[in-house]
Amino acid sequence: MNAVSEALKNAEPADTSIKIDGKRLWDSLMTMAKIGATPKDGVCRLALTDLDKEGRDLIVS
């Protein structure tokens, strides 16, 4: 057994008390997808560009 599998075996269960607002999460992801959107439904937000900053600022907010 390697160190990673040993760590996973001994890991504590995740905290399941956290509640996720699915609609809010989806709306945030769709807003993020519009930042740097490309014509064929892709996204291009190169690091250290204004679009990258706009995306990071959205997540921080």
pLDDT one-digit tens code per residue, 10-51: 777 777 788 899 999 999 999 999 999 999 999 999 999 999
Name the residue range of residue 24's domain: 17-60
Is 45 contained in some domain?
yes
- Distances in Å between the Cα of 14 and the Cα atoms of 4, 8, 11, 17, 18 are 17, 12, 9, 9, 10
Q: What is the pLDDT of residue 11?
A: 78
Length of the chain: 61
Q: How many domains does the chain have?
A: 1
Is 1 contained in some domain?
no
Is 7 contained in some domain?
no
Confidence band, pLDDT 50/70/90 cuts, at residue 1: low
Buried b (16+ CB within 10 A) or exposed e, 11-37: eeeeeeeeeeeeeeeeeeeeebeebbe
